[in-house]
Copies of this chain bind each other. A is one copy, B any other.
Amino acid sequence: MSANKGRGTLDERAQKLLKTLIERYVRDGQPVGSRTLSRETALDVSPATIRNIMADLEDHGLVASPHTSAGRIPTEAGYRMFVDSLVTVKPLKKKVVEELNEGITDSGDNAQALVANASKLLSQFTQLAGVVTTPRREHNQLRQIEFLPLSGNRVLAILVVNSREVQNRIIDLDRSYNESELRQAANYLTEQFGGNDVVEVRERLINDLKNTQASMNQMMVDAISIAQRAFEAGDTEDFVLEGQTNLMDFAELSDIDKLRSLFDVFARKRDILHLLDQCTRGQGVQIFIGQESGYEPLGECSVVSAPYSVDNEVVGVLGVIGPTRMAYEQVIPIVDVTAKILGSALKSST
């Protein structure tokens, strides 16, 4: 038994064959036979030899045949090996990078529009479904607070953070406040905490309320309790999915039931968010192949994702979702570059 058999490492030739097999299979979706493979490679070996090697690859669990007299198709393990060590990512053409850059930069300057556009571009350029989580900074600088009285004991709190994001929340209070009370409270808070991190502000608020309650006048106490309520609910995390209809073109998803459960997962959002969350750790492009994601409806799908950062802080994840049989060597650089562009676009708009 020679080195390229059994559980050992793979022959270089075998690797090369696996690579071309996957590339070929990705191209036209048909199981690849030995004859085709022998013609495709420059190795100059006969189909018979290829058949032997294919048997080895099958032992390794890297390829499989759908039935006796079909060619081979890659298994998930095969794809895994491919993306880990075999794939040669083509650097993107300058023109493509420019198009991406313009597409994102030109999309107005609010964060939501940038994100939506990035998602659209991802789906356009890859012909898969693009997905981008809304940015979510650890460090949100509080700029200003306003309170407006509503009916009953309710108050509309408006927080301006990071100089262009506006959040507003309705808070229920224990008693009603008039306009001037609220204005005083808002001014006090803005003065006191403006320029500080939101999380930090929240902590200081909690402390202040506990420790110095006695020494503060009623207005400040009120202001703080109002503000505390306003900070309670964190931002709702979310993502923008575009081009999901692209997925309907793939034969492996033409089964309407599979497609439906896939779309249902998208609509439910929770699972996808959880999955994307995992991509936050680690930097650079990450790939989930098929079952690796742990979600059944994503069974025959892969996720290629990359976190994007502003000021060296990871604020979100973007990527594409498509069938396991996708052109990784093209998708990977697109995801990679888009993440970088989006990151800097968000930065420059701050």
Check if A41 is an interface residue, CB within 8 A of chain B: no
Contacts of A264 in B (CB 8 A): 245
Check if A315 is an interface residue, CB within 8 A of chain B: no
Q: Which of A50-58, A71-79, A253-261 is found at the contact surface with chain B?
A: A253-261
Structural contact, B164 and A170, CB atoms closer than 8 A: yes
Give A172 Cβ to nearest chain B Cβ, in Å.
10
Give A304 Cβ to nearest chain B Cβ, in Å.
21
Q: Which of A11-19, A155-163, A272-280 is found at the contact surface with chain B?
A: A155-163
Closest to A149 in B: B163
Structural contact, A110 and B148, CB atoms closer than 8 A: no
Given B144, B242, B260, which contacts A148 in the complex, CB threshold below 8 Å?
B144
Given B148, B160, B170, B256, which contacts A254 in the complex, CB threshold below 8 Å?
B256
Distance, CA A41 to CA B260, complexed state (A): 37
Check if A181 is an interface residue, CB within 8 A of chain B: no
Structural contact, B244 and A263, CB atoms closer than 8 A: yes
Structural contact, B244 and A248, CB atoms closer than 8 A: no
Chain A contact residues, majority secondary structure: mixed
A: contact size bracket: 20 to 34
Which residues of A, 261-299, contact B by the 8 Å Cβ criterion? 263-264, 267
A contacts, CB < 8 Å to B: 109-110, 143-144, 146, 148, 150-151, 156, 158, 160, 163-164, 166, 168, 170, 242-245, 248-249, 254, 256, 259-260, 263-264, 267
Distance, CA A259 to CA B245, complexed state (A): 9
Contacts of A158 in B (CB 8 A): 146, 158, 160, 166
Distance, CA A80 to CA B207, complexed state (A): 67
Q: Would you mind naming 19 contact pairs between A and B with Cβ atoms under 8 Å apart?
A: A109-B170, A144-B148, A146-B146, A148-B160, A148-B163, A150-B163, A151-B163, A156-B164, A156-B166, A158-B158, A158-B160, A158-B166, A164-B170, A166-B166, A243-B267, A245-B264, A248-B263, A249-B260, A254-B256
Give A163 Cβ to nearest chain B Cβ, in Å.
6
Closest to A246 in B: B260
Structural contact, B245 and A256, CB atoms closer than 8 A: no
Contacts of A260 in B (CB 8 A): 245, 248-249
